[in-house]
Chain A
Amino acid sequence: MRQIEAKIISETVERLCIEANYILEDALVTALKKALQVEESPAGKDVLTKLIENARVSKEEQYPACQDTGFTIAFLEIGQGVEVIGGDLYEAVNRGVAAGYKKGYLRASIVKDPFKRVNTGDNTPAVIHTKLVPGDGIKITIMAKGGGCENMSRSAMLIPVKGKQGVVDFVVDTVKRGAVNACPPVIVGVGVGGTFDECALISKKALLRPVGSPNPDHATAELEKELLEKINNLGIGPQGFGGRITALAVHVEKYPCHIASLPVAVNMDCHSHRVKTAIL
């Protein structure tokens, strides 16, 4: 068994929280620049230009890319040959989040109780997803997920007869209703299949791929293209000011499902897409 200290996990999470919020990934900045080439609306171009500049200012002048520094979501892929020592794994993650948000001057955006709504003050607790995998390492991915775009996410339990067209219609309709409030150009994570819970989870995991990288499965990649074209025909445009680019990318993930169902989930992500990974 390889032993990994809880303290190392905390330190890694702390660093990833800060990096995610200050250094937008290259694939995203590239996608924004590509969008600027394609966009035909003057207002849309102006927004894209400002967003590219915003990414630079964020990184070089130490301002978080967005003031909504998100709900911290931690995806942990834990090797079966790993033993975490020196503390509780979940506590270690949350200690890292609290330290990262404090040291990084990031906003505390979590309330302890959905009804009483008192801020926890340090952005904890994180939402933590763990998966056991072969091997003896831990892969930690931190996503800082904005509330505005999360609010525009939606899922449905379609029936099998609805098929691919039913899924396409639901995804496009969800974007049509919500993208304007989700800080477009958005990145659309889509889950198809699984159960009610698994479908939502894979729609979020779809967002972890580098922005614009196609699903390795050819048919799924074709579906992503079809969805992106339909979404960009909506005309909502950057910030809803009109234009060709409403979404930078659509990422679809699938999972087997029950003979009775065709679940679909759309997890909307804003252009301020903040994901960072480290491997221990």
Chain B
Amino acid sequence: MMEKNIVSEEIIHIKAPLDEKTVLSLRAGQLVLFDGIFYTARDASHKLLIELIEQGKPLPFDLQGQVIYYVGPTPARPGRVIGSAGPTTSSRMDSFMEPLLQRGLKGTIGKGNRSQEVIDLLKKYKAVHFSNIGGAAALIAKSIKKCEMVAFEDLGTEAIYRMEVKDFFAVVAYDTTGNDLYMEAIKRYGR
């Protein structure tokens, strides 16, 4: 499915929220630089989002086309937009995916691999999962230009924030056709 290197050397610039054409064109292994808007959510905020959906209540933001970044940042120092802000483990959010995809979520960003169930859901709902570099949190912070609280403030670092990003680095890990970067990586380099 991919040419010589499993991660491409060419970098594609894309915008968040994602449009359908972009989502469908992305392939596992492509490097991207994001400009635009992300919403953050991790364990506790996902639980609350799903509870709102189950209760038939409105969500704190419209999911249509949006990208959710799995992150719990450190507190910002005075005069700074945010503290360190690298990804958390994506697979903990696996069981929350379908109701969010049903409401238009088009992209997620985190670290590590995801379940076959999520790979199938991404195909079904035409969405993409990206990985960025876990533990490169200081570097990543520099591509976040604005950060404001959206919901669940009492969760602290786990609250939902709206982030404005510029040249935010990520790799397409799973695309809309079922390609899987992590599986390809092991196939290529495992001995």
Contact = CB atoms under 8 A, between A and B. Distances in A.
Indicate the size class of the contact surface on chain A: 35 or more
Contacts of B136: 47, 50-51, 54
Interface stretch (B53-61, B79-87, B116-124): B79-87
Contacts of B77: 62, 105
A68 interface: yes
A267 interface: no
Contacts of A241: 6-7, 131, 171, 181, 185
A66 B188 contact: no
B188 A235 contact: yes
Nearest to B85: A67
> Which of the listed residues A65, A181, A234, A237 has the most CB atoms from chain B within 10 Å of its own CB?
A181
Contacts of A46: 7
Nearest to B44: A117
B83 A67 contact: yes
B178 interface: no
Interface in B1-52: 5-7, 9, 44
Interface stretch (A78-86, A106-114, A201-209): A106-114
Interface in A156-189: 180-183
B71 interface: yes
Contacts, number: 160
A148 B83 contact: no
12 contacts: A51-B135, A63-B74, A63-B141, A67-B84, A68-B86, A107-B75, A147-B88, A236-B186, A240-B112, A241-B171, A243-B189, A270-B135
Interface of A: 41-43, 46-47, 50-51, 53-54, 57-58, 61-69, 105-109, 117, 119, 121, 147-148, 151, 180-183, 233-237, 239-244, 270-272
Given A107-B75, A233-B191, 7 more contacts: A50-B136, A51-B133, A54-B136, A117-B44, A239-B111, A239-B131, A243-B189
A43 B135 contact: no
Contacts of A148: 88-89, 111-112, 134
Contacts of A181: 89, 91, 111-113
Give 8 nearest A-B pairs by CB, closest first.
Answer: A242-B185, A235-B189, A235-B190, A43-B7, A181-B112, A63-B138, A183-B134, A272-B135
Interface residues of B, number: 47
Contacts of B85: 67
> Which of the listed residues B5, B71, B76, B137 has the most CB atoms from chain A within 10 Å of its own CB?
B137
Contact of A67 (B74, B89, B131, B189): B74
Contact of A66 (B137, B158, B190): B137
Contacts of B113: 180-181, 240
A235 B113 CA distance: 15
A242 B189 contact: yes
Contacts of A43: 5-7, 171, 185
B99 interface: no
Contacts of B71: 67
Given A43-B6, A148-B89, A181-B91, A235 B138 contact: no
A69 B74 CA distance: 8
